[in-house]
């Protein structure tokens, strides 16, 4: 008996619905989501032939892709922290897949892959692979900061022996994070073929192994590399085919200059330029790629759904803008460091010496053709307090070890100091001022309670009764072959003196010096910091102002006051700095270091000309230095590095070349990778939205990246042990199935998913 028409129609509709759902269940997720339904863009040129899901059994990461078994296929290694294992997924066309049990369920990994495990006794935060000893087999290198070691698992032709032997290298200051290891191939035939770069708390270390051996032959720190960074990205920035060093810091203390760049000299792998600080406003580094031979660095905003790409280009700022180069000196800190300048090597250029009071070391910094290069730190007197340079000799003062020690240059460092005898008792010494024009030591001594005297060589100059003990004595160039001596008194006005040769001549020579006190007006503020601008002219700075003082004979007068803009201004240092406009009226002659606002104020003797953000939180000392290029640079010393601030000529900057704002305000781009995902020969960009669990593909075009395709990935349910968090947590774009097309690989908590690129006959970009 036939069904009634009404029942027949209902049955037909239900059957059609079931068949439709069955068919849709076999269609890849990406092909059934429309741009209108998902709220994301869609282009027909992109497609994926399904997806393969691989189970890990526990949360995974970090990971690394390489050919581990030398069969020409790309393999994948993932660290499983809960199991303490490195799981290797090896491409094997003959494999039928991996069957395993998880929570009572039988799970099967896709066919064409097999597994291998390597046990590790410490938590792994970074891994890479490289043929370290040129034996034809890749080694697996892992970084274990919690165990203070690198571990090398040696490759072997035999699968039973591969990664079974390992060597450990102790390193107590390994940087944390998944981007702290980098491999570098060396093309020169007369060198060890590969280098391993390791990011540590002290900077970047270079490791090399003896060919055809497991012997480590080099483990050295690249002098002048920055400590405290979290990302290491060696890449050719300037197109000279030499891999430059790029590090990115996540510390708020390094804002807004998180990117540090050192250029490598072509043909000279061991020579590096000083670090350049590059300003970036975005917060989270995601990775970099090369487009048309130019690297693009991608950053994601922490508080906005924005992805931004930057390229490194020559600086095009105005004449009065500042370029910053940095010479990192100590990741542990320099203490209350000081610096001095003089011609150490006799080449006619001024060099710099930095005193590391924390570790009692002298650090020479050599001026070579207008560029500064750190030398070898050398031991000096314990608990050093000050230093100065005369000729090629460096004088270090320490009350703990005999007073004044003299060191001379030895190779790229200094000899151990020789104690110089002083004319007064060391117990009475209050402060060292330096060497006067006659190469004799100027010092301040306490005679009795409230009485002090200045001593120059054998000659003493009583200062009379003083209510407070002076803290510092300084000597500056004065007018007409005189010297200006400044005695600073805490919470009191400084006392100024003119030091000159005695006009009385004995046997054709003047054998004595005359000290004349300069009458100072009350407008020279108490507690101000004094900087010499020129012979007979000083600047007294305090809080948010600086007063220009002219010294004439035995009197001083305040010419004018410079007021620094900003409510939180606090001037801690000042220096004479000659650069900027060719016009005298607009030419910078003074740099004011505003630690309160983190600014550098450029001024002349009449007004503040400009204010620019400075790359510092705290400054210990500021000086000007003529590097021999016709302009003076500003040297800023903080507790970890020496910063060279000057004109932007020859400097680089980060130029924003790409910006993409997601359609949803709760989106956050947390990872990205690049590859050719539609076969048009151009790099496309795959970005993961970790907040919404979505993948977005941006097509590479001659005009940049344009939205092409987007869809949710796999599932959004929470995982055992907590909430979903940021998922997917990582992305790779590589050819994993050997068909010549790049695939997208996502790491999602306890599984990884491969979206193989569909092999379209019309793979060109329809746009």
Position 63 pLDDT exceeds 90? yes
Comparing 195 with 34, the larger pLDDT belongs to: 195
pLDDT-above-90 percentage for the chain: 32
Flag whether 757 is in a domain: yes
Question: Does residue 536 sit within a domain?
Answer: no
Domain contains 744: yes
Among the ranges 117-131, 360-374, 399-413, 696-710, which has the highest mean pLDDT value?
A: 117-131
Tell which wins on pLDDT, 714 or 50.
50
- For 179-230, how does the pLDDT look when each residue is reduced to its tens digit (9 = 90+)? 999 988 765 544 557 889 999 988 899 999 998 899 999 999 887 777 778 8
Residue 463 inside a domain? The answer is no
Indicate whether 738 belongs to any domain: yes
- Reported as a single tens digit per residue, the pLDDT across 514-571 is 889 999 888 888 888 899 988 889 999 988 999 999 998 788 999 999 999 888 889 9
SS3 of residue 506 by DSSP = strand
> According to the model, what pLDDT value does residue 368 have?
83
**What is the dihedral angle through the alpha carbons of 410, 412, 416, 421, rounded to the nearest 10 degrees?**
70
Q: Over the stretch 445-457, which tens digit does the pLDDT of each residue have?
A: 998 888 999 999 8
Q: What is the pLDDT of residue 715?
A: 59
Question: What pLDDT does 759 receive?
Answer: 64
pLDDT, residue 36, reads 34
Q: How many domains does the chain have?
A: 1
Report DSSP state, residue 14: H
Can you tell me the mean pLDDT for 114-140?
92
Angle at 444 between CA 438 and CA 450, to 5 degrees: 150
Least confident of 54-58, 248-252, 286-290, 309-313: 248-252
pLDDT at 734 over 90: yes
**Strand partners of residue 216:** 209
Would you state the pLDDT for residue 267? 66
User: 138-147, 220-229, 338-347, 508-517: lowest mean pLDDT where?
Assistant: 508-517
Question: What is the per-residue pLDDT for 584?
Answer: 52
Q: What is the DSSP string of 614-643?
A: -S-S--SEEEEEE-SSSSEEEEEE-SSEEE
Task: Dig out the tokens for 608 from the structure.
Answer: 């503040």
Return the number of other C-beta atoms located less than 10 Å from residue 188's C-beta: 9
What does the pLDDT average to over 613-632?
81
Highest mean predicted confidence (pLDDT) among 165-174, 180-189, 614-623, 707-716: 165-174
C-alpha atoms less than 13 angstroms from C-alpha of 716 in its C-beta half-sphere: 9
Question: Can you tell me the distance from the alpha carbon of 61 to that of 689, in angstroms, rounded to the nearest whole number?
Answer: 18
Digit-coded pLDDT (tens) for 79-118 = 999 989 999 999 988 888 878 776 676 777 888 898 889 9
Residue 686: the pLDDT is 94
CB 697 within 8 A of CB 709: yes
Q: Which of 599, 520, 613 is nearest to 564 (CA)?
A: 599
Model-wide pTM > 0.85: no
Residue 466 DSSP SS3: coil
Q: Per-residue confidence at 731, pLDDT binned at 50, 70, 90?
A: very high
| CA separation for the pair 197, 126 (Å, rounded) | 12
Measured distance CA(211)–CA(169) in Å, rounded: 18
How confident is the prediction for the chain on average, in pLDDT?
82
Does residue 702 sit within a domain? Answer: yes
User: Do the domain assignments include residue 707?
Assistant: yes
Most confident of 33-37, 214-218, 248-252: 214-218
DSSP-assigned states of every residue in 722-741: S---S-S-EEEEE--SSSSS
- Residue 119's DSSP bridge partners are 85
Confidence class of residue 10 from pLDDT cuts 50, 70 and 90? very low
- The residue that leads in pLDDT, 578 or 579, is 578
Position 765 pLDDT exceeds 60: no
| Residue 695 in domain | yes
Q: What's the pLDDT tens digit per position in 679-695?
A: 888 899 999 998 888 99
When computed from its CA atoms, the radius of gyration of the chain, rounded to whole angstroms, is 33
Supply the pLDDT for residue 618: 85
Report pLDDT for 2.
40
CA angle 570-572-577, nearest 5°?
A: 115
Question: At 7, which helix (H) or strand (E)?
Answer: helix 5-25
Of residues 6 and 690, more confidence is placed in: 690
pLDDT over 80 (residue 266): no
Q: Is the pLDDT of residue 9 over 50?
A: no
With CA atoms as reference, report the closest residue to 326 among 282, 381, 278: 278
For residue 701, cis peptide bond before it (omega within 30 degrees of 0): no
Rounded mean pLDDT, 235-243: 85
Tokens 């070391």 belong to residue: 361
Distance (Å, whole) CA 546 – CA 564: 8
Which residues form the domain of 711?
Answer: 39-56+674-766
């Amino acid at each position: 008996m036939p069904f009634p028409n009404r029942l027949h129609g209902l049955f037909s509709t239900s059957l059609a619905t079931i068949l439709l759902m069955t068919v849709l269940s076999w269609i890849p997720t990406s092909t059934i989501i429309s741009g209108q339904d998902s709220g994301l863009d869609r282009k027909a040129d992109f497609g994926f032939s399904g997806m393969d899901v691989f189970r890990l059994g526990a949360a995974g990461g970090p990971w690394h892709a390489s050919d581990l078994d030398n069969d020409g296929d790309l393999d994948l290694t993932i660290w499983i922290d809960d199991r303490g294992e490195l799981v290797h997924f090896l491409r094997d066309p003959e494999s039928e897949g991996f069957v395993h049990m998880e929570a009572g369920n039988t799970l099967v990994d896709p066919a064409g892959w097999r597994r291998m495990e390597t046990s590790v006794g410490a938590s792994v935060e970074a891994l890479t692979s490289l043929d370290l000893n040129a034996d034809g087999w890749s080694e697996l290198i892992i970084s274990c900061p919690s165990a203070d070691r690198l571990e090398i698992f040696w490759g072997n032709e035999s699968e039973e022996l591969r990664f079974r032997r390992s060597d450990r290298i102790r390193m107590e200051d390994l940087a944390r994070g998944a981007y702290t290891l980098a491999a570098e191939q060396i093309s020169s035939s007369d060198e060890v073929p590969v280098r391993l770069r390791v990011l540590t708390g002290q900077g970047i270390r270079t490791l090399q192994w003896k060919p055809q051996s497991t012997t480590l032959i080099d483990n050295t720190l690249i002098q002048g590399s920055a400590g405290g960074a979290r990302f290491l990205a060696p890449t050719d920035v300037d197109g000279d085919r030499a891999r430059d060093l790029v590090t990115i810091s996540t510390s708020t203390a390094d804002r807004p200059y998180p990117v540090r760049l050192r250029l490598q000299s072509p043909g000279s792998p061991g020579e590096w330029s000083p670090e350049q600080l590059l300003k970036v406003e975005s917060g989270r580094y995601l990775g970099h790629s090369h487009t048309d031979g130019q690297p693009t660095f991608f950053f994601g905003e922490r508080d906005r759904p924005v992805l931004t790409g930057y390229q490194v280009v020559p600086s095009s700022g105005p004449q009065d803008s500042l370029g910053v180069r940095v010479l990192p000196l100590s990741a542990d800190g320099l203490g209350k460091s000081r610096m001095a300048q003089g011609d150490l090597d006799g080449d006619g250029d001024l060099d710099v010496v930095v005193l590391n009071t924390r570790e009692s070391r002298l650090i020479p910094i050599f001026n070579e053709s207008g560029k500064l290069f750190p030398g070898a730190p050398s031991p000096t007197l314990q608990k050093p307090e000050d230093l100065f340079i005369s000729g090629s000799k460096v004088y270090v003062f320490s009350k703990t070890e005999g007073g004044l020690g003299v060191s001379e240059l030895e190779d790229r460092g200094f000899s151990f100091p020789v104690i110089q005898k002083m004319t007064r008792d060391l117990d009475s010494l209050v402060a060292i001022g330096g060497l006067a024009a006659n190469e004799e030591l100027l010092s301040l001594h306490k005679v009795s309670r409230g009485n002090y005297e200045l001593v120059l060589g054998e000659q003493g100059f009583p200062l009379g009764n003083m209510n407070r003990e002076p803290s510092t004595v300084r000597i500056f160039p004065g007018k007409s072959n005189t010297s200006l001596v400044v005695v600073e008194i805490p919470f009191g006005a400084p006392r100024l003196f003119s030091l000159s040769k005695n006009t009385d001549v004995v046997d054709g020579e003047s054998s004595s010096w005359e000290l004349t006190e300069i009458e100072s007006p009350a407008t020279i503020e108490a507690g101000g910091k004094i900087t010499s601008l020129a012979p007979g002219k000083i600047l007294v700075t305090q809080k948010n102002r600086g007063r220009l003082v002219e010294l004439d004979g035995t009197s001083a007068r305040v010419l004018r006051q410079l007021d620094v803009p900003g409510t939180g201004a606090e001037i801690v240092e000042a220096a004479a700095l000659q650069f900027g406009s060719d016009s005298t009226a607009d030419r910078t002659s003074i740099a004011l270091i505003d630690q309160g606002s983190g600014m550098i104020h450029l001024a002349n003797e009449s007004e503040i000309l400009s204010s620019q953000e400075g790359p510092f939180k705290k400054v210990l000392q500021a000086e000007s230095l003529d590097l021999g290029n016709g302009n003076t640079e500003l040297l800023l010393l903080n507790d970890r590095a020496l910063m060279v601030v000057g004109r932007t000529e020859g400097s680089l900057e980060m130029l924003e070349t790409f910006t993409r704002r997601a359609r949803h305000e709760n989106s956050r781009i947390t990872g990205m990778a690049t590859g050719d995902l539609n076969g048009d020969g151009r790099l496309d960009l795959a970005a993961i939205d970790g907040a919404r669990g979505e993948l977005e593909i941006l097509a590479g075009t001659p005009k940049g990246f344009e939205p092409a395709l987007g869809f949710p990935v796999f599932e959004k349910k929470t995982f055992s042990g907590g909430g979903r968090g940021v998922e997917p947590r990582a992305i790779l774009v590589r050819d994993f199935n050997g068909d010549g097309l790049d695939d997208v690989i996502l790491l999602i908590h306890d599984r990884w998913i491969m979206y193989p690129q569909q092999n379209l006959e019309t793979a060109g970009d329809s746009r």
